[in-house]
Structure 1
Amino acid sequence: MTNDDLQFAHDRPIRMQQDDLLDRAGFAQRLALAISSWRNQESLVISLTGSWGSGKSSVKNMALEYLSVLKGCQVIEFNPWQWAGQDKLSSAFFEEISRVVQRKDSTEADKQLAKALRRYERRLNAGAGVLSNTAKWAPMLLGSALVTTALGTVAEGDAAQVTIWAVSAVSWLGSLAPWLKQGAEWCLSRSKILDQKVKDSELTLGQIRAQLQQLLSARDQPLLIVLDDLDRLSAEQLKAMFQLVKAHMDFANVVFLLLFQRDTVEQGLQRAGFDGADYLEKIIQVPFSVPAISAKQLEAVLFERLDAILSAEQQLQQRFDKGYWDQMFQRGMRPFFGNLRHVYRYASTLAFHCRLLRGTEVAEVNAVDLFALECLRVFAPETYAEMPRHKGLLTSSEPFARKDDPQRTRVNQVIDQMVNLAPRLHRPATRQLLQEMFPNLDWVFKNTHYDQTTQLRWLVHSRVCCDEVFDRYFELSVPEQDLPNSLLHELARRITDPEAFTTLLTSHEEDRQAEILQRLLGWVDEFPIEQSLTVVQTLLRAGERVGRRMSFTNWSPRVQVARLLRLFLERHEKADRSDLVIEAFSVCPGLVVMEQLLAADYAQRRKGDIGNFDDDGLENLKNLYLQSLRQVANRDPDAFLANEDHASYLYDLNRYGEGGEEGRRWVETNVTSSTRFLCFAQGQINRRTSLTGDSMTRTDYISPSALEQMLGLERCAEWAARLDLIELNEVQAETLALVKDALARHARGEASDKWSE
């Protein structure tokens, strides 16, 4: 299989020994030798039984191939399933035998045998056609007679009787008219049969049988009649076929090879009024069963198919987890494969679905999960179809769901419901597959919980248990709203190129940036440790240019960049982390990320946790940050105040700087004009979002305590009074209104952190 040639696997029987994958050629050869050695004896009936897909027809084909080499018998294959009616079945059976016997290079004895067989068939079936056609005409003829008879019983008087006789005549003629032509044709055909019957009348049925017996006994080779697909026949057809074998073909040098699934045929004969097992025992003299397939042989064929699929899909190969595969196959998938037909059915569509989800540079799904889900789709389709309805539960992404006893009960109920949709034979394996594919439910089944790092790894490997990738397994494509693995792969590849990484990341909207960075958290272990300096520079650069807005469901992109950097630093020795950041910062100063790193580390220390940096390293980082911050603020105060982040930077100057009021001193020194005050005030604006029913309300406000801390409320009131005297644009007027609102709330004695609605 190549990347461009997609072929479906077929489950047709093999025809030659060279295609034997299960070492059954020896069995087939011994069967062929036994058949060819049956000469000048009574008839022999052999059965070859096995379940659906066990390889009965394949064994038969190999035996026939070997017989053709030996030239030890004449083979006649007859498939009764192709003939619908019982009368057609009998006629077709004898016609097929006589046709094969009288082949192109037949001997005179063969021609005589074929003629005798046809004579025998005509004798057996001579009356069936007459009875059949009479049965078709009788209802209409009787119907016409009944109508006229009924009218006659109520008619009175001569005129009425005349009328009734006229109606009767018309009724009879009318009913017969459509059949006149067909009747004529039938009469002609029957006359030919009767004529032939007259010619054959000098021989009785017993005499014809004796003639057949003599002709067959004189043959040097047995006649092998192969009847396949008997288990597909209806109960009545089964009855007719076995009666045909039992009653009419008990001749020397005739060997029957019957292929069927034993329990199916026994049940069919039971419906036809026989004791199935006892009836077969009376007819079949030599019963054989198809050799059992060892699990090792079957798995070898399956694995060969899977290896071929993976060889053609390089993207799926890249992240194929051998350990996970062994676990999934041994615990869940193995019981689904009982014969070669199961393997072929499974492989037929698996390659197709792998092609749909292989991605461009990397696979969009986890190969092992895809293999497992294909198992359910083929062998437990109702379970597979039910799974998307329970996405939230299976991926543990239901909002407000708690890991408590009621939820535990609910999870068990849903899993039981899906398992019970599978065929009874496959229910244990279906349950095991669900548990293997969705380890996030192990808290229910094993009381096991997994940390965030493990869950991030599941996401990196596109496991179906992750809410972010679940849909693509069932939609068989990457939904438009999903993040394709190829994008994440490309970003991971560019992590050592600060400009290329940042350009690709910022080409997406803010909300998308946050999702991308969240997903990249799981890729940190793949960032090249030998290029750590460049990786840190990339993240410092990206932090300066990504969005800053936070949503209900995600951190802001800049916070995600800082989280990404912290996870990457954890791969290094603690004493080396600050030096690495300081060196990178000297090339690519990133105040946004540096601020996040310091805030996170100090927050951890306040909780008593160990931060990312040692004491000396943290102090060095803080001093470098303050030094850079002062340079930026003092170099161009207008540009600094125009920066959306200047309020948090001023707060950091207060928190980390000298005396705890360095930020306030800078404001008092540099906020010297109405324009600068308005820029300062805009930096103090906060936004609060509230949900009421289906509507969302956003409210902007300024905290009085922030104004007091950074400039003083009196100074702010003075600036507000001055601004009342000048003309402002819409944004400036809104900012001034928020300042006045904060001053008014403080004057009313409201808590400094309250805000007006």
Structure 2
Amino acid sequence: MTNDDLQFTDDRPITTQAQDLLDRAGFAQRLALAVSSWKNQESLVISLTGGWGSGKTSIKNMTLDHLAAVQGCQVIEFNPWQWAGQDSLSSAFFAEISRVIQREDPSDDDRKLAKLLRSYSRRLNTGASLADGTAKLLPILLASTLATSLLGTLAQGAVAQITWLGVAGASALGSLSLILQRSGAWLGRWAGNLDEDAKDSALTLSQLREKLQKLLSTRDKPLLVVLDDLDRLSAEQMKGIFQLVKAHMDFANVVFLLLFQRETVEQGLWKAGFDGADYLEKIIQVPFSVPAIASSQLENLLFKRLDEILAQEPQLQQRFEQDYWSRVFQRGMRPFFSNLRHVYRYSSTLAFHCRLLRGTEVAEVNAVDLFALECLRIFAPETYTELSKHKALLTGSDPYSRQDEPQRVRTTQLMDQLVSLAPVPHQAATRQLLQEMFPTLDWVFNNTNYDQGIQLRWLVNSRVCCDEVFDRYFEMSIPEQDVPNSLLHELGRRITEPEPFTILLTSQAEDRQAEILQRLIGLVEEFPLDQSVEVVRTLLHAGERVGRKISFTNWSPRQQVTRLLRIYLQRFEQEADRSQSVINAFALTPGLVVVEQLLGADHALRRKGDVGYFDDSGLEQLKSVYMRKLREKADSDPDAFLADGDQASYLYDLNSYSEGGDEGRRWVEANVTSPDRFLQFAQGQVSVRTTHCGGTTTRTSYIPVSSLESFLGLERWTQWAARLDSLELAEDQCRTLALVKEALAQSEQSVTAEESNR
């Protein structure tokens, strides 16, 4: 089978002993021996009972396979369920036996026996047809008679009596017409049967039975009559077939093998007016039950099927968690499998869904979770359907929820509801399965919480408990807004290749880049430590090219790149190793954006008294390289530097990290020498303030007053504003100038307020 072929598992019964997977061939052989060795003047009735899917028909097929091999008897298979619509089940039964007996190279005795059985079948059918036809016509005759008689009693006088005679005649003629119309078919069949009987002989039914008995008693091999699917019949049909067997238990060298689910048949016979258990005891002489399947055998078969599926799905193998699988199967899935049909149904549809979610290079789901959810979908479908409606609660992703008592109550109620939807025998296993799949609920049931590292591993392994991948398991596809695992895998594979990694990342929309980088944090443990310089170079390079857009719920892509790098560096126990990796990488590639954030975060930690990411010497060395590259950027092309979106941060760093604390200011004074450059500089100082009120979000642009003092000073800002007032400016330049004036006015108000407070 190729990787693109898909074959559903066949759950039909096996037909030969060679197909036996549960060591039942020995049982079938002993049953075949018991049948073939039967030599007696009366029939033998054997039953083989078992639950749905327990393997009754498979054992029957292996028994017949052995009997055919040893030529132990002649087999007649009669499925009464297929004849349930016939007028006479008994006549169909004996007609079928007659056809089988003379089918292949019959002897003279076989031909005689077949002929007698046909005659016997017709005689049974004739009696049944006559009784049935009479029963159908009697209501018509009685209705006609009743109507005319009623009219006769009401008629008064000669005219009325004549009228009544006319009505009676019409009624009789109408009834006769209807009788002839409805009875023509069965009268024809009845006449045909009588004609055939006359041709055979005018034997009575009793005489026919005697002749049948004589022919059967001389046979050297018994007849095996197999009646399967008895539990599919209606109550009346069950009654009829068991009465048929009971009525012919005196036939010699005939063995009946009856297959059914005992509880179902007993209930059916009870509905038909019998004590089911007692009635079966009177008919069945040798009762057998299907041998129980050893749980180890069933599990081995299930595991074999799962291994075959995984062999066709290498992507699912890559992150298959053996410990997790062991817990899920032993605690939750095992009770759902009690017979072969369960295994076949489950493995067939599982293979299909694995194919849907296989991914390209890596699977898009967790194999164990997929196996567990498929178990619920097959055996507890209502629970499975309801699961998809409660993503936020199950994954703990509701942004407005807290781990408090009301939330605990809601979660417990949901769990009870989901479990109650499962079939009663499977409710305990369903509860266990849900708790294994959703450790996000452990705070409710076990008072356990998990740190971010463990939650990131869940995300990397595409666990259903993560809201980012939850929908895949129920939509059976990758939603467009989702980040596919194949993309994350490819980025992880390219983490030592700066340009390919950056091209792949920046090919995604800016609002998705941050989410992708957030998901990559889960793969940090797989980034190679022995290629740390290449890894750092890649992230420094990407930081220069990714978007800067920030949202209320997520950091900007460039902030996520820096965060990803910090988490990677923390894998080095020694701060000096972290410093050296960044210094070496920074020397080989641009990376001002990320290094600026690294330095800022390290200094912030040190100001709070915490330990930074780098050692003291490494931090100073990294700062020195950063300042050198920053000066080169600023001096080589002042116009490009002023147009850079990070201009304000860079100028603050030139101030902060220089010895005099004013290098940034001096650069501005030396290079902001024209109206265009001043406007570029001023635009770079613009910040955005966001406010929320009454469901409305307002974004306001402004220039911080601190920028006026830090760069150029109030006097120079005022001079530039006055000079620009006399010039013709573009619309965007006018907006920038307006912000400059607002900042100057706010500064003046602050000075006035301070003076008035003195």
Q: Flag whether TM exceeds 0.5 (same fold).
A: yes
- Structure 1 CA distance for aligned equivalents of residues 283 and 751 of structure 2: 102
Match runs of 1:496-515 below 5 Å = 496-515=496-515
* Partner SS for 1:120: helix
Residue 664 to residue 163, structure 1, CA distance change in 2 (3 Å): farther
Aligned to 1:537: 537
Q: Where do 1:644-663 residues align within 5 Å?
A: 644-663=645-664
Asked if 1:736 is matched to 2:704, the reply is no
Q: Which residue matches 2:688?
A: 687
Deviation by residue 1:285-308 (Cα, 9 ceiling, x = unmatched): 111111111111111111111111
Equivalent positions of 1:525-564 (< 5 A) are 525-564=525-564
Kept in 2, the 8 Å contact 1:40–1:218? The answer is no
Structure 1 position 488 matched with structure 2 position 488: yes
Aligned partner letter, 2:321: D
- Whether 2:618 is the aligned partner of 1:617: answer yes
**Corresponding residue of 1:332:** 332
Amino acid at match of 1:389: K
Deviation at 1:212, TM superposition (A): 2.2
- Partner of 1:450, secondary structure, is coil
Moved more, 5-14 or 673-682: 673-682
Aligned to 1:321: 321
The answer on whether the counterparts of 2:41 and 2:250 sit within 8 Å (CA) in structure 1 is: no
- Give the CA deviation at 1:213: 2.0
Contact 2:592/2:626 (CA < 8 Å) preserved in 1? yes
1:109 maps to which residue?
Answer: 109
Partner residue in 2 for 1:408: 408
| Match status 1:92 vs 2:92 | yes
Q: How is 1:13-28 mapped onto 2 (pairs within 5 angstroms)?
A: 13-28=13-28
Q: Which residue of 1 aligns with 2:465?
A: 465
Say if 1:16 and 1:61, in contact at 8 Å, map to a contact too. Answer: yes
Q: 1:446 to 1:608 in 2, by over 3 A?
A: farther
3-state DSSP of counterpart to 1:11: coil
Once residues 491 and 3 of structure 1 are traced to their aligned partners in structure 2, the CA distance between those partners, rounded to angstroms, is 25
Give the aligned partner of residue 756 of structure 2: none
Distance 1:206 1:642, change over 3 A: same
Pair 585,112 (structure 1): closer, same or farther in 2 beyond 3 Å? same
Q: What code does the residue aligned with 2:43 have? A: S
Match of residue 716 from structure 2: 715
What does 1:439-450 align with in structure 2 at a 5 Å threshold? Answer: 439-450=439-450
Letter in 2 for 1:712: G
Tell me what 2:674 maps to.
673
Give the drift of 1:190: 2.1
* Contact persistence 2:305–2:347 (CA under 8 A): yes
8 Å contact from structure 1 (residues 86, 237) kept in 2:
no
Cα distance in 1 between the residues matched to 2:97 and 2:514: 77
1:234 maps onto 2:234 in alignment:
yes
Deviation of residue 532 (structure 1)?
1.8
Q: For residues 245-266 of structure 1, what are the alpha-carbon distances to aligned partners after superposition, in whole Å with 9 as ceiling and x for unaligned?
A: 1122322211111111111111
- Contact kept, 8 Å, 2:75 with 2:225, in 1: the verdict is yes
Task: Give the distance between the partners of 2:7 and 2:695, measured in 1 at CA.
Answer: 51
Alignment of 1:260-275 (within 5 A): 260-275=260-275
Change (3 A) 1:132 1:539: same
Equivalent position of 2:638 in the other structure: 637
Paired residues of 2:14 and 2:20 also in contact (CA < 8 A): yes
Work out the number of aligned pairs and report it: 752
- Partner SS, residue 467 of structure 2: coil
Q: How does 1:181-192 map to 2 (within 5 A)?
A: 181-192=181-192
Matches within 5 A, 1:153-552: 159=159, 162-174=162-174, 176-177=176-177, 180-196=180-196, 203-552=203-552
Distance of 2:724 and 2:9 partners within structure 1: 80
Question: Which amino acid counterpart does residue 718 of structure 1 have in structure 2?
Answer: Q
- Alpha carbons 2:647, 2:684 under 8 Å: kept: yes
After the TM superposition, which of the residue ranges 509-518 and 669-678 deviates more from structure 2? 669-678
Provide Cα deviations, 1:511-555, integer angstroms capped at 9, x if missing partner: 111111111111112223232211111111110111111012211
**More divergent stretch after superposition (388-397 vs 605-614):** 605-614
Structure 2: which amino acid aligns with 1:97?
A: I
* Structure 1 residues 751 and 159: CA distance shift in structure 2, 3 A: farther
CA contact (8 A) 1:440 1:465 kept: yes
Aligned counterparts of 1:721 and 1:146: Cα–Cα separation in 2: 120
8 Å Cα contact 1:464-1:473 kept in structure 2: yes
Query: Residue by residue, what CA displacement relative to the aligned partner does 1:174-231 show, whole Å, maximum 9, x if unpaired?
Result: 4554553453443333223344556778544333332222221111111111111111
Distance 2:483 2:31 in 1: 59
Which whole-Å deviations, capped at 9, do the CAs of 1:607-636 have from their partners, x for residues lacking one? Answer: 443322122222222222122222222333
Helix, strand or coil: the match of 1:660?
coil
CA distance in 2, matches of 1:391, 1:702: 44
Equivalent-residue separation in structure 1 for 2:249 and 2:452 (angstroms): 75
The C-alpha deviation readout for 1:556-581, integer Å capped at 9, x for no partner, is 01011111111221222422111111
Q: What is the aligned partner in structure 2 of residue 727 from structure 1?
A: 728
- C-alpha distance 715-161 of structure 1, shift in aligned 2 (>3 A): farther
> What secondary structure sits across from 1:237 in the alignment?
helix
Q: 2: CA distance between counterparts of 1:687 and 1:267?
A: 78
Distance 1:186 1:672, change over 3 A: same
Seq. identity, %: 69
Aligned to 2:706: 705
Question: How far apart, in 2, do the equivalents of 1:701 and 1:164 lie?
Answer: 111
Q: Structure 1 residues 150 and 669 mapped into 2: Cα distance closer, same or farther (>3 Å)?
A: farther
Structure 1 pair 153–719 and aligned structure 2 pair: CA distance change class (3 A): farther
Segment drifting more, 66-75 vs 628-637 = 628-637
Query: Shift of the alpha carbon at 1:434?
Result: 1.1
Unpaired runs of 5+ residues, structure 2, are 754-758
Give the AA of the match of 1:740.
K
Equivalent-residue separation in structure 1 for 2:413 and 2:578 (angstroms): 49
Partners of 1:351 and 1:174 lie apart in 2 by 65
Instruction: Report the Cα offset of residue 144 of structure 1.
Output: 4.6
**2:126–2:190: 8 Å Cα contact kept in structure 1?**
no
Query: Which 5+ residue runs of structure 1 have no aligned equivalent?
Result: 753-757
- TM-score of the pair, normalised by structure 2: 0.94
Contact preservation (8 Å) 1:498, 1:537: yes
Amino acid at match of 2:688: R
Q: 2:357·2:365 contact (CA, 8 Å) conserved in 1? A: yes
Is the partner of 1:658 in helix, strand or coil? coil
Which secondary structure does the structure 2 equivalent of 1:39 belong to?
coil
Q: Which amino acid aligns with 1:612?
A: Y
Per the alignment, residue 120 of structure 1 pairs with 120
Alpha-carbon distance between aligned partners in 1 of 2:643 and 2:524, rounded to the nearest angstrom: 34
Deviations 1:263-318 (A, max 9, x none): 11111112122222222111111111111111111111111111111111121122
Decide whether aligned partners of structure 1 residues 610 and 267 sit closer, same or farther in structure 2, where only a CA change above 3 A counts: farther
- Contact 2:543/2:562 (8 A) holds in 1: yes
Letter in 1 for 2:15: R
For 1:670 and 1:560, locate their aligned partners in 2 and report how far apart those are by CA, in whole Å.
Answer: 33
Secondary structure of the residue aligned to 1:389 is coil
Q: Which residue of 1 aligns with 2:594?
A: 593
By how many angstroms is 1:82 displaced? Answer: 0.9
Partner of 1:755: none
| 2:598 paired with 1:626 | no
Q: What is the rounded CA distance, in whole Å, between the counterparts of 1:290 and 1:515 in structure 2?
A: 57
Q: 1:180 to 1:697 in 2, by over 3 A?
A: farther
SS in 2 for 1:257: strand
Structure 1 counterpart of 2:699, one-letter code: R
Which range is displaced more, 56-65 or 40-49? 40-49
For 1:402 and 1:185, how far apart are their aligned partners in 2?
A: 78
Q: Is the 8 A contact 2:224 2:257 kept in 1?
A: yes
Q: Whole-Å Cα distance in 2 between the matches of residues 577 and 736 of structure 1? A: 44
Q: Does the 8 A contact of 2:92 with 2:121 survive in 1?
A: no
